[in-house]
Structure 1
């Protein structure tokens, strides 16, 4: 995720960062410039069409469709941002529940039980790192801190394996009489929340926007922009070249941004800082326990 100062206007305007859509769309800018120049040359120089040509009436269609495409793109970006923000809330809940679980265990466990304290100090943050990589379809054992019985199978659901070990250890403490039944019930919401958060993140990652909807928006933008020079060239002449490029930049950028943030758990510039969040969980849980 990009860290930035939201008040630095001029920095935003004149700097091209990794997530800037200009880099991705630049080849299309060149192609559209050549296409618009060719249309302008054919209509103005070669065919010498009159400004009152029937082709000019196509601008009326663009006026009507402009409102429709704006509604579609607003809905598209809002839907994508909702997914991004829900993902951020889920990881915020993971931070809070990890701290709460550590605080409760710190208060419940006897000071002499250093083995269990060390187990939870290691395994609670390991769950965050396991979930982070699980959502990226990765397995990076070097990010885990090792604890007793830390035997994970790469081909199985890693977060579930870690959560199962944490819950099993808590129940073992109950059977040993080191925590009471009331304390076990008190720990239960945080223990169950890990799997709930994982399932909600998987729902976001595994349920993209419907294919037909995504294809329709892309086709709509393409044909809308490609037909712009046909009518507006009589009014703008060769200025149609930068105008078409700018309109395409605005419309296509909204779609690209929506595509990037609708799956917020990857490595894109605007994805959630799950690496930083996982590191902070390890730091804070370590301080508590």
Structure 2
């Protein structure tokens, strides 16, 4: 994710980092070059004048814009739901640890195993969604016995929630937790499990591929034929208008493709590293542990996390 102050309106026109221009530059240059060639040849291919005008492109362009808008809305809905689920991880982890610190008898240090398992849960979920190795974070946060239990598990976040529930069971059996309080402390665990399932659903259910293929093909055919329909009416301005329209369609398609999988590492995906660190820091602070100093970014600096 890119975090930066909003630049001046003039600088915004030329921003590259964080935009999709670097991704669509090859096809945009190719379409513009084609438009230049069509303008020079005045729409003729091998001495044959292609008889097109702007009317069909107006109709197709309107329909294509509607489909692109719908697809981007669907992609953003997935992105925002993913962000909401990760916000729930923070709030529910705080709530569960707060109750463990205030409702369970004994010194605050008794809640440290639960807090460690909650921290590890968030990091393990991040690694599961991104397909990376969680071993380093797990060994940093958990004792060897917990790490050995997690070794080789396919769904480590779910197992960590089970281990958090086992901590509650141990406190109840030891008489440090009143039975009437157990349902209240189980509720955050249930919501963490729901957030886990929601993230797995988003990661495992992409937008249907056929739908993306249809839009992709239509955009490219539209942009390739567009210069032939505009050259008679616009003349030398044809490459400029074609480049602008092609940029709009290519950029909307690229943006929708990027944010429909919000757990990746693209510039506009969710900053899971930063959110995992925020959950860990919040729980450590509740335990009274010292936090490493965080240096704010310099003014105007782009932060990629």
| TM-score strictly above 0.5 | yes
Which residue of structure 2 lines up, in the alignment, with residue 130 of structure 1? 124
Decide which of 50, 63, 72 is 2:67's aligned counterpart: 72
Which residue of structure 1 lines up, in the alignment, with residue 13 of structure 2? 13
Measured in 2, the distance between the counterparts of 1:85 and 1:41 equals 46
Count of residue pairs the alignment pairs up: 283
Which residue of structure 1 lines up, in the alignment, with residue 303 of structure 2? none
Gaps of 5+ in 1: none
Once the two structures are superposed, the pairs formed by residues 128-167 of structure 1 within 5 Å of their partners are: 128-144=122-138, 145-147=141-143, 149-151=145-147, 152-167=150-165
Deviations 1:166-221 (A, max 9, x none): 11111111111110111111101111122111110111111111111111101111
Distance 1:47 1:277, change over 3 A: closer
Decide which of 251, 254, 257 is 1:253's aligned counterpart: 251
Which residue of structure 2 lines up, in the alignment, with residue 201 of structure 1? 199
Once the two structures are superposed, the pairs formed by residues 107-256 of structure 1 within 5 Å of their partners are: 107-112=102-107, 114=109, 116-144=110-138, 145-147=141-143, 149-151=145-147, 152-256=150-254
Distance 1:135 1:45, change over 3 A: closer
Distance 1:169 1:31, change over 3 A: same
Which residue of structure 2 lines up, in the alignment, with residue 62 of structure 1? 57
Normalised TM-score (structure 2): 0.86
Gaps of 5+ in 2: 288-305
The yes-or-no answer on 1:30 pairing with 2:24 is: no
| RMSD between superposed Cα atoms in Å | 2.0
Q: Contact (CA 8 Å) 2:57, 2:222: kept in 1 or not?
A: yes
Give 1:47 shift: 7.4
Measured in 2, the distance between the counterparts of 1:45 and 1:149 equals 75
Normalised TM-score (structure 1): 0.91
Measured in 2, the distance between the counterparts of 1:8 and 1:261 equals 25
Give 1:32 shift: 1.5
Give 1:239 shift: 2.5
